[in-house]
Every structure is written in structure tokens, then in C-alpha cells.
Amino acid sequence: MRERIAVVGLGLIGGSLARRLAVSHDVIGYDADPTGRGLARAAGLTVRDELAETLRDASVVFVAVPLSDLSTVVSQALSAGAVVSDVGSVKTPLYAAVRSAGHAGRFVGGHPMAGSERSGFGASDPGLYDGAAWVLCLEPDSHVDTWLRVARLVTGIGARVVPSAAADHDAAVAAVSHVPHLLAAALAATVVDAGPLALTLAAGSFRDGTRVAATAPELPTAMCRLNRAAVASALAEMTQRLSADPGPLIQAGHRARLAWEHRSSAPADIPVGAGLQDRLLDLGRAGGWVARVGEDTLSVVVPEPI
């Protein structure tokens, strides 16, 4: 089913999404930055110079602007009447804003777990989402048909759609993404302050452990501030673990890393029908995802417990 889709924000995330969606849909892009618009046009995308014009004819809008502008642009898109999704890395505050405007039924908060330390349309890649986990939130006031419509688009570009309540998402990404940014920053700063000898000896474990510190600092700063409570909680747990004896800590970390690498999973089907929302939320809590959205059935994957 071909959709008329607007993608607002054509950086690494939005640019990659627009390029991939344009393979199967009518896509119009917009970016506040004329340079980004120029690069996107040069790559063959249809791009408008005005946001209002971009939103006018779209039936589905993906908002991929920085966190600081997200709530404003999502509101504008919802006012234009379309189904709206986004790619922001913190979901609870955005749902509060959307809900207070009475638009929750047409909104599906999203978060692709993909990216890199690079940014801008120049870093975009239509293959970025192949196999990536992509959270689509389900809240008590969500409309499951709207969710399925967005899920069809997202599975259509090769991503694994993970259904989650917004608060569960925010707690999980605090641990898997926001705290790793803080660890990388603290490690890089500690090693530089340790002096030139330490910098010369810094090799593989430093390189890997600090890679995300190369990210433009505005992004992780905004994420950590917006997700303050969940980040503080995950960080407190980290700090407590670090204060313990290294032997059991390293053993537990080793088991955990291998369990993550070698987790196995099994396919299953979920019928589209009554009780779907609860079934989807159960699926997401178990670490599962939707691989394909059919007319009557969702093809899903459920990992084994570890």
C-alpha cells in the first residue's frame, strides 16, 4: 500500500528513512537547514522549502528533528491532520505534550535503535535500518489501527518493530543507550586528564569504550536531560556495581555479554483482532518484535528467556 509520507528533518536518521521509504512510497522531505535540503535534493529526494507545504498532502508524517524542537514540530504535524510518528530517543515527555493537545490517537511515538557517531544528511544510508530494532509505542489511549499503519511502514523498510509502553522504553534506553554515552564521556575525559602517556597507551578497549563520545554533544546531552530520572536510576545501579569486588562483577558482565550475543528466538503469529494491544505489549516486554504486518496476522519473533 503506497502512502504519501512526509519526513521532517533530513539528518542521519531522517535522511536515511526518507531515502529508504522513497523506494516504495511517495516521500516529501523537509529540513530547516537549506544545506541539508540541497544535499537531499542532490540525492534525488523530493524536498520542499516550507514545513507547512511539506505537511499539507501527507497522510503519514515522520518527525526526525532534534529533541529540542521535537515537541513543537510534532504538534504542528498533528494539527495538519496526518498520522504522526517520530524518532526521538525519549518518549514519555512527548506523549504528555501530545496528550495535552488531545492528539494521542493519531500519534505513534517511535525510536529506531540505529545510528552512528556521525550526523547530517551526508552520513545518511538507506540501509541503516536493515534488521534494526525500532520501538513503536503503545499507550492506553493509542489507536491500534494507527499503530499497525505505522508498523507496516517500518517493517516494510526492514526494521524489527518493538511494541512498548513509553515509560518502559525510556527506562530501557537509559540503560542501553544514555548511560553508555555518559560512560564513554567519563572514560575519555579521565584518560586525557591522566596525561600523555595514558593517551599513547589507549588502545582497543579505550577506542571501543569511547566511540560514542565522538557524537555531537548536543544529542546525548538532550537525551540525558530529558530522560533524567531513568538515567539517574540506571547510573546509580552502574555505580553500585562498580564499587563491588571486580571478580564477581567481571563474571556477571561476561555472562551477560555472551547471553546477549547468543540469544536465540522463535517465530510466531499474532492474529489481528480483539486484545491485540495487550498481546503486542506482552510481546515487547518479552523482548519480542513484529517482523511483518499482514492483513489478518502479524509475523512476530519471540526471544528465548535468558
Report, in Å, the least distance between residue 93 CB and a second copy: 16
Q: Which 8-state DSSP code applies to residue 304?
A: P
Looking at beta carbons only, is 42 or 186 nearer to a second copy? 186
Report, in Å, the least distance between residue 208 CB and a second copy: 5
Q: Is 68 exposed, middle or buried (0-12, 13-18, 19+ CB in 10 A)?
A: exposed
Report, in Å, the least distance between residue 141 CB and a second copy: 21
Q: Is the Cβ–Cβ distance between 77 and 106 less than 8 Å?
A: no
Of 174, 93, 140, which is closest to residue 280 (Cα–Cα)? 140
Report, in Å, the least distance between residue 250 CB and a second copy: 5
Q: Is the Cβ–Cβ distance between 187 and 206 less than 8 Å?
A: yes
Report, in Å, the least distance between residue 125 CB and a second copy: 13
Report, in Å, the least distance between residue 139 CB and a second copy: 15
Q: Is the Cβ–Cβ distance between 272 and 296 less than 8 Å?
A: yes
Looking at beta carbons only, is 149 or 160 nearer to a second copy? 160
Looking at beta carbons only, is 83 or 150 nearer to a second copy? 150
Non-local CB neighbours of 199 within 8 Å, separated by 6+ positions: 191, 192
Q: How far apart are CA 232 and CA 66, in angstroms?
A: 22
Report, in Å, the least distance between residue 270 CB and a second copy: 16
Q: Is the Cβ–Cβ distance between 130 and 95 less than 8 Å?
A: no
Q: Which 8-state DSSP code applies to residue 214?
A: G
Q: Is 272 exposed, middle or buried (0-12, 13-18, 19+ CB in 10 A)?
A: middle
Q: How far apart are CA 111 and CA 215, in angstroms?
A: 18
Looking at beta carbons only, is 74 or 182 nearer to a second copy? 182
Looking at beta carbons only, is 7 or 224 nearer to a second copy? 224
Looking at beta carbons only, is 29 or 284 nearer to a second copy? 284
Looking at beta carbons only, is 22 or 174 nearer to a second copy? 174
Q: Is the Cβ–Cβ distance between 186 and 209 less than 8 Å?
A: no
Q: Which residues pair with 5 in a beta bridge?
A: 27, 60
